[in-house]
Amino acid sequence: MLISCVLGSQNLTNEDLNKLYYDPKWSSSKIYRKTGIHSRPVVKDELVSDLAVGAAERLFEEHGIDRREVDFLLLCTQSPDYYLPTTACLVQDRLGLPTSIGALDFNLGCSGFIYGLSLAQGLLSTEAANKVLLIMSETYSRHVHPMDKSTRTI
C-alpha cells in the first residue's frame, strides 16, 4: 500500500477564527485547549476532484506507478463535485485512466477509509481487479457555515 496526500490551498488558524467570531469566550488558546488544533487546511476554490487528482498525480510520480495499470478507482467523499456524474468518473477522466476500468463513488465519513480498504480487498481477492486506486477526498470547509463555532474549529 502506498499513500499520498494533498491539502486545501488555504490555512485557517485559531487566530483567524478568533478575529472572525469577535467573542472573548472563544480565544485562540481556548480553541487549542479544546481541540488540540492550531490551524487547519481549508479549500478556497478547490473541488473534491482537484484534491483527488492532485494526490493521485503525486502518488504516480513519487512511486513510479504506471496509471495504465490501474484497473479500478474507488473514491470516498461526502462532498462530491456534482450529484451526476460521479466524481470518480471525473477523476478517472482527468487522470487519463482507461475508460474500461471501474470507477465508483461511495459516500461515507470517518469510516470511509476502512470500508474503502475492504472494497479494494474484495476486488483484489476475487481478481476483479489487480491494481486499485483508493482515494479519500473531502472539501467540508466549503459546506460548513463560517460562523458555526462547533464545527468550524475542527
pLDDT tens for 2-42 read: 889 999 999 999 999 988 888 888 889 999 999 999 999 99
Least confident of 29-33, 45-49, 132-136: 29-33
pLDDT interval class at 149 (50, 70, 90): confident
Q: What is the pLDDT of residue 91?
A: 98
Coarse DSSP helix, strand, coil percentages of the chain, rounded to the nearest 5 percent? 40, 15, 45
- For every residue of 49-79, DSSP letters joined together read HHHHHHHHHHHHHHHT--GGG--EEEEE-SS
| Adjacent-strand bridge partners of 127 | none
Task: Taking residues 51-73, report their average pLDDT.
Answer: 97
Q: What residues make up the domain containing 113?
A: 1-142+150-154
Q: What is the mean pLDDT of the chain?
A: 94
Please state the length of the chain. 154
- What CATH number does residue 135 fall under? 3.40.47.10
Decide: residue 137, CB within 10 A, 0-12 exposed, 13-18 middle, 19+ buried.
Answer: buried
Task: Taking residues 128-153, report their average pLDDT.
Answer: 92
Domain count, the chain: 1
